[in-house]
Chain A
Amino acid sequence: MKDDKKPNLKIIGDNSASGGRYDDAKIIGNGVIKGDLECVTFKSIGDSRLEGNLKAGTVKITGSIHVEGKTTADDIRVTGDLNIDGDFQAGHCHLRGGITTKSGIKADDLSLMGYVTVKKNCEAESFKADGQIKIDGLLTADDIEIKTYGASRISEIGGDRIVIRKGSGSSLGKVIKLLFVPSSWGNAMVTVNSIEGDDIHLSNTRAKVVRGNNVVIENGCDIDLVEYKDNLRVNRSASVREKKKI
């Protein structure tokens, strides 16, 4: 099937097309695709809407896109707004801007900068995020690194190495703040019900339970209960109500 030469799709200006299978699909302007789209590369510059599922090798979006179905891609890069109603599955995922999904995310590696809203679970091998993060389900990855730039809320976190810190005041941080994070800057906290991992390093985190082997609690933390196996280090300015070695 791979050898079949498929046609290309190009939408320029304010226009719509039906879905189907293409080699290259490109939208410049304001495009609407009605139906499922399957292609090798998908590129969109501008504001587009896909009324169906998207399945592509590489996806590059500058501007905003709304996918009303599922999205599957090997490699996806977005600068702007990504809105997905169905499940989102990807290999490499590089997102700058805003991403909102009404379902879950499954990826190999996920690099995010901006604001993220996920209604279900978010699973990856590596998860790196700078910005404001809202995950209603479980966030799980081998390697989790979060720099929070606003009030983030995650229901549960589980993994191998988990690091949460406050976004730095560097010039890059200021740019992110300026571009992506609107009002809640003053309150750079991550609120989580439970965090479970092998190596955990937290700052600016409010959690009910933290369970791990090696746990470091830095300043700005407010933790109800820490259960640890090997080591626990708590910064003097952090608040931990109960510590238990197991």
Chain B
Amino acid sequence: MENDLISKKELLELTGISYGQLYRWKRKLLIPEEWFVRKSTFTGQETFFPRDKILARIDKIKNMKDDASLDELADILSPNPSDIEVEKDKLVKEKVVSEVSMDIFAQVLGIPEVFDFQKTLYVYLVDKILSSGEASAEEGKIILKTLAESFLAFEGKQCDLLFVRKLGVSFCLLIEGQRQVSLDPGAKLVSRISIASVVEELKTKLSNGGFSDGKQ
């Protein structure tokens, strides 16, 4: 675990950002609170970050901050849904999700005229897990039901989607992000997806695809 962390000092040196920027980004929630890990060192308390995540994030902020304001960036990077609305056909046409996933969505939750971000996220998650070949269409429905019923309860918190199979029986769980889970030896954790990172991926995809301003 020690090697996966980077101290604040080292981070600033490595990325060339200033304390002012780091705290500003923290205030704008561009860097999640959970990434600030406090540890005691010989000089007292110091702050550390998960190395890969923070470096990737700062790289992303530095690249994007010329094109978008900090508030827009915060919207893209936050785990909370944005207020994007997309038409059903467009999601398939722009290859955000496959036709198969859309059908599954229709069977479980019905098909709305426009997809708000929440629904887009559900169908995108199912599409992701289906196209990885880790789950069947039938299992996709279970995942979709779980999401529809429980995802909102995690409002604002990081959360992970776990998909588990044992002796041919499959089920899925939603847990608070980065928590450790132990399964009995007979069960197999097929897939674990961090929803926050998928949200980020989807938002980037949607904002690049011109979905937010309704262009074709």
Q: How far is the CB of B151 from chain A (nearest CB, A)?
A: 24
- Residues on B with C-beta less than 8 A from A197 are 19-20, 23
For A199, the closest partner residue in chain B by CB is B20
Expressed in whole angstroms, the Cα–Cα distance for A242 and B43 within the complex equals 11
A151 at the interface (CB under 8 A from B): no
Chain A: residues with Cβ within 8 Å of the partner, total of 21
- Residues on B with C-beta less than 8 A from A161 are 20
Q: Give which listed residue, A159, A194, A246, contacts B20 with CB less than 8 A.
A: A159
Expressed in whole angstroms, the Cα–Cα distance for A158 and B22 within the complex equals 9
Given contacts A159-B23, A160-B24, A246-B9, contact A193 B45 (CB under 8 A): yes
- Residues on B with C-beta less than 8 A from A160 are 18-20, 23-24
B26 at the interface (CB under 8 A from A): yes
**Taking chain A's interface residues, is the majority helix, strand, or loop, or is none over half, making it mixed?**
strand
Expressed in whole angstroms, the Cα–Cα distance for A198 and B8 within the complex equals 14
B214 at the interface (CB under 8 A from A): no
Chain B: residues with Cβ within 8 Å of the partner, total of 14
Q: Are A140 and B44 in contact (CB under 8 A)?
A: no
Q: Are A123 and B27 in contact (CB under 8 A)?
A: yes
Q: Which of B1-46 contact A (CB under 8 A)?
A: 8-9, 13, 18-20, 22-24, 26-27, 43-45
Stretch at the interface among A15-23, A179-187, A208-216: A208-216
Contact with B along A21-50 (1 / 0, CB 8 A): 000000000000000000000000000000
Expressed in whole angstroms, the Cα–Cα distance for A26 and B194 within the complex equals 48
Contact with B along A150-166 (1 / 0, CB 8 A): 00000000111100000
Q: Which residues of B contact A (CB under 8 A)?
A: 8-9, 13, 18-20, 22-24, 26-27, 43-45
A-B contact pairs, 23 of them (CB 8 A): A140-B23, A140-B27, A142-B20, A158-B23, A159-B19, A159-B20, A159-B23, A160-B18, A160-B19, A161-B20, A193-B44, A193-B45, A197-B19, A198-B18, A198-B20, A208-B44, A209-B44, A211-B19, A212-B19, A213-B18, A213-B19, A227-B9, A246-B9
- The 3 A-B pairs of least Cβ separation, nearest first, read A160-B20, A158-B23, A198-B20
